């Protein structure tokens, strides 16, 4: 039996089983603590890695919360350089890129401006995640990515071992930039080019040019623009031949689809002074002398002119005629105002048997007035003939003007000493054309016109009408040739016998007055028992801030035949030097009995004011189609100081049916 002392000793110690159990419990606790501590450490490293990846992203793409006022001001490496770097090291060390600086022409800064990770982050290792594993960065992938392999430092895995992938899609890096050019707040309907400046991906400047055509209504778009501060410039009509330059305007592209504020590109407020000559045709049916009246003042040549419509540092008013005088004595052709007072005169020498062009200056009556041609009496009928007459207004440094479009014309070479003859007449109570060949066609094209905005109705339709006996009424209106509908507000009427010039104003927004459509005049009578007559018709258009416009010189009227006549009695002196940035085109209205055979072409007559001598103006010819239509040539050149005349070229068999030919000078083209 054990002693008492031995039992006490045993009672103070641990049995082997107790020791083994204690060791097992300690091992379990140690394993649990290690797992717990490792998990907590990985969680902390996970959060550190996420934060580090966010900071790398900000260095690459900028901080969306950093702003100046309400405008984002930080776009990181991508904004300064124009693309993401090939490697993350470029965020801290310049990889031989241009240093950040302000481009004075583009009006914004670009170039490397690191350290993009910032001084506060210099102690952090941004090349690696918090587990010490290098980030996997790919700028070339779609989209670019920044990846950490997680706690297990290997691809794949779950939980804290899962890969952390930060994507940088195109929507946070690059944008579509839209803009709208306006003219005095309204959509711009002309031609222009827009140049956008941005960073080129290497820290330099990239400039991209897009074209804007009339159908765009001023809208333009650039794609794949790196986000950041950018600028753009509008050139009208082109950068190479700009008459209007707006910009560069600076803006901040900060979203996938960015719209530039329209206030930046209002071209209607920045048009410079322009040189222009406006031609207003006065004679739609030739006039001649008689042997009864001492002077005959022709109502059917009445032409409105308001000096308030024209401005400039210099304005010269002239009138021009192409005339003959078979009498022995010289004769004075007067230009008289509405009161019958002569304001200008041209002397046509006796025995001027060939149609000859003459021009003289005159001083108009201030304000709004009407002007007519006056021919003196001759011993024999028709000893003086005038087949062409036009008023010309030459403006230097102009900001506004009023152009004229002739719309009808009687047979070329025809003239009369009577004042009651008609270019066309009808007894129809429906709008019609009694002689369609006598009617020209005009195309509305707002890309060629800087319409006046200080008046609600910049268009004025004028016509010389008479309604016939017994109170008959003649009405004329402008019609859309495609729809057959009258332009709202364009109808004008005259009751009773005797021609009178009537007119009406209408707006650009008038119903049935669409852009890029063709228009013509039609007439009607109030009764089938009356004959409505028209002796002249045209369209005035007010222009302001002369970004673009046209002047119309008619060099041929109605002709039908198989011959090849010269229209020397309608020659014009068209001087390109009178226009700012001119572009000259020829426009023919007509058709031929056999399409593609007959044509109309212009001749350079040198300094000859009479005769048919001259050389063909290259590029001015137009071949006549089988159906009546309007055609315009491409640009061609007229030598300053030379005269221009036209010729219908036939083959002797097919019939030329010509309504008009007009030389059009576009300015600020």
**Helix, strand, coil share (%) of the chain residues, nearest 5:** 15, 45, 40
Host H or E run for residue 584: strand 583-592
User: Is 90 in contact with 84 (CB distance < 8 Å)?
Assistant: no
Give CA–CA dist 353/610, Å, rounded.
10
CA 630/CA 659 separation, integer angstroms: 10
**Which residue's entry shows tokens 């979203």?**
255
Asked if pLDDT for residue 6 goes beyond 60, the answer is no
- pLDDT at site 170: 93
**Position 67 confidence tier, pLDDT thresholds 50, 70, 90:** confident
Q: What is the pLDDT of residues 368-399, one digit of tens each?
A: 999 999 999 999 999 999 999 999 999 999 98
- A 10 A CB-CB count for 350 gives 14
Please name the residue that has the structure tokens 């004008």: 492
Decide: 364 and 305 in contact? Cβ < 8 Å: yes
Whole-number Å distance between alpha carbons of 186 and 35: 72
Angle at 344 between CA 342 and CA 348, to 5 degrees: 110
Token pair 């050389």 is at which residue? 615
Helical (H) or strand (E) element with 46: helix 16-61
Higher pLDDT, residue 269 or 525: 525
Angle value at C-alpha 149, between 148 and 153, nearest 5 degrees: 130
Half-sphere exposure of 394 (CA within 13 A, CB side): 17
Segment among 1-5, 108-112, 144-148 with least mean pLDDT:
1-5
Dist. CA 409–CA 520, nearest whole Å: 12
Per DSSP, the residues of 128-173 read B-TTSPBPEEESSSSS-EEEE-TTTTSSS-SGGGSPEEEE--GGGT
Cα Rg of the chain, angstroms: 41
Going by pLDDT thresholds of 50, 70 and 90, the confidence category of residue 10 is very low
DSSP states along 189-232: -S-EEEEEEEE-SSSSEEEEEEEE-GGGTTEEEEEEEESEEEEE
- Write out 482-504 in H/E/C secondary structure: CCCCECCCCCEEEECCCCEEEEE
- DSSP assignment of 48-75 equals HHHHHHHHHHHHHH--TT-EETTEE---
pLDDT at res. 2: 44
Tokens 């309400």 label which residue?
70
Q: Which of 35-49, 296-310, 421-435 has the lowest mean pLDDT?
A: 35-49
Identify which of 275, 226, 227, 267 has the alpha carbon closest to the alpha carbon of residue 245.
267
State pLDDT tens for residues 118-161: 765 545 678 888 888 988 999 999 999 999 998 888 888 888 88
595-634, pLDDT tens digit by residue? 888 999 999 999 999 999 999 999 999 999 999 999 999 9
* CA atoms of 443 and 475, how far apart (whole Å): 22
Element (H, E) at 623: strand 622-623
Which domains does the chain possess? 26-168 (no CATH), 174-269 (2.60.40.1120), 274-549 (no CATH), 550-669 (2.60.120)
What is the reported pTM?
0.67
Cα gap 155→165, rounded to integer Å: 11
For the segment 192-202, the average pLDDT, to the nearest whole number, is 95
**Phi, psi of 42, deg, nearest 5:** -65, -35
d(CA 537, CA 539): 7
What would the two tokens of residue 528 be? 């089938």
- The encoded tokens of residue 420 equal 């009651």
Query: Do 642 and 521 meet the contact criterion of CB atoms below 8 Å apart?
Result: no
Report for 26-40, 157-171, 296-310, 644-658: range of highest mean pLDDT: 296-310
Provide the strand spans (E) within 298-443. Answer: 303-306, 314-325, 331-336, 342-348, 352-361, 368-376, 384-398, 400-406, 415-416, 424-426, 442-443
- Tokens 């149609």 belong to 355
Per this entry, what is the length of the chain? 669
- How far is the CA of 200 from the CAs of 108, 207, 231, 518, in angstroms? 13, 8, 13, 46
Can you list the alpha helix ranges (DSSP code H) found in 308-411? none
What pLDDT does 652 receive? Answer: 87
* Whole-angstrom distance, CA of residue 573 vs CA of residue 406: 17
Contact 408, 508 (CB under 8 A): no
- Give the 3-state secondary structure of residue 329: coil
d(C-alpha 458, C-alpha 413), whole Å: 33
Report CA dihedral (443, 452, 668, 397) to the nearest 10 degrees: 140
């Amino acid at each position: 039996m054990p002693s008492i002392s031995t039992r006490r000793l045993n009672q103070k110690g641990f049995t082997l089983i107790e020791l083994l159990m204690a060791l097992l419990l300690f091992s379990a606790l140690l394993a649990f603590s290690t797992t717990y501590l490792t998990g907590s450490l990985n969680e902390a490293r996970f959060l550190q890695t996420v934060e580090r990846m966010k900071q790398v992203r900000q260095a690459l793409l900028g901080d969306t919360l950093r702003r100046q006022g309400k405008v984002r001001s930080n776009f990181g490496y991508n904004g300064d350089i124009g693309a993401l770097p090939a490697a993350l090291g470029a965020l801290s060390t310049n990889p031989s890129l241009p240093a950040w600086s302000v481009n004075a022409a583009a009006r914004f800064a670009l170039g490397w401006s690191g350290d993009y990770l910032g001084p506060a982050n210099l102690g952090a290792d941004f090349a690696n995640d918090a587990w010490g594993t290098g980030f996997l960065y790919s700028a070339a992938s779609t989209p670019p990515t920044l990846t950490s392999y997680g706690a297990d430092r290997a691809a794949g895995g779950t939980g804290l071992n899962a890969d952390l992938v930060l994507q940088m899609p195109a929507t946070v890096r690059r944008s579509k930039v839209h803009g709208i050019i306006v003219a005095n707040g309204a959509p711009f309907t002309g031609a222009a080019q827009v140049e956008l400046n941005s960073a080129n991906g290497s820290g330099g400047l990239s400039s991209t040019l897009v074209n804007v055509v009339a159908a765009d209504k001023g809208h333009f778009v650039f794609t794949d623009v790196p986000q950041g501060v950018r600028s753009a410039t509008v050139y009208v009509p082109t950068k190479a031949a700009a008459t209007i330059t707006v910009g560069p305007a600076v803006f901040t592209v900060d979203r996938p689809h960015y719209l530039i504020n329209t206030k930046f590109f209002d071209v209607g407020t920045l048009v410079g002074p322009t040189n222009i000559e406006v031609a207003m045709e006065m004679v739609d049916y030739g006039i001649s002398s008689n042997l009864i009246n001492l002077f005959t003042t022709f109502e059917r040549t009445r032409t409105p002119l308001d000096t308030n419509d024209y401005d400039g540092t210099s304005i010269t008013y002239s009138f021009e005629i192409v005339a003959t005088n078979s009498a022995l004595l010289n004769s004075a052709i007067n230009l008289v105002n509405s009161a019958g007072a002569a304001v200008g005169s041209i002397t046509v020498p006796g025995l001027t048997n060939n149609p000859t062009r003459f021009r003289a200056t005159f001083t108009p009556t201030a304000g709004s007035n009407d002007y007519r041609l006056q021919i003196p009496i001759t011993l024999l009928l028709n000893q003086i003939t005038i087949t062409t007459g036009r008023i010309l207004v030459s403006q230097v440094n102009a900001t506004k003007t009023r152009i004229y479009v002739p719309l009808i014309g009687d047979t070329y070479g025809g003239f009369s000493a009577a004042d009651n003859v008609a270019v066309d007449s009808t007894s129809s109570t429906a709008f019609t054309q009694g002689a369609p060949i006598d009617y020209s066609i005009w195309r509305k094209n707002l890309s060629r016109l800087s319409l006046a905005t200080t008046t609600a109705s910049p268009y004025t339709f004028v016509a010389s009408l008479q309604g016939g006996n017994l109170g008959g009424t003649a009405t004329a209106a402008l019609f859309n040739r495609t729809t057959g509908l009258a332009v709202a507000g364009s109808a004008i009427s005259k009751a009773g016998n005797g021609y009178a010039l009537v007119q009406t104003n209408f707006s650009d927004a008038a119903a049935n007055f669409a852009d890029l459509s063709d228009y013509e005049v039609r007439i009607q009578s109030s009764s089938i028992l009356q004959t409505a007559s028209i002796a002249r018709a045209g369209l005035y258009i007010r222009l302001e801030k002369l970004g673009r416009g046209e002047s119309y010189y008619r060099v041929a009227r109605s002709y039908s035949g198989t011959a090849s006549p010269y229209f020397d009695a309608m020659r014009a002196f068209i001087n390109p030097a009178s226009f700012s940035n001119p572009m000259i085109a020829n426009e023919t209205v007509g058709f031929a009995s056999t399409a593609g055979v007959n044509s109309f072409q212009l001749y350079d007559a040198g300094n000859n004011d009479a005769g048919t001598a001259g050389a063909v103006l290259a590029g001015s010819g137009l071949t006549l189609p089988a159906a009546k239509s309007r055609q315009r040539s491409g640009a061609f050149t007229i030598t300053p100081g030379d005269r221009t005349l036209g010729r219908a070229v036939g083959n002797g068999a097919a019939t030329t049916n010509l309504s008009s030919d007009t030389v059009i000078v576009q300015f600020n083209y």
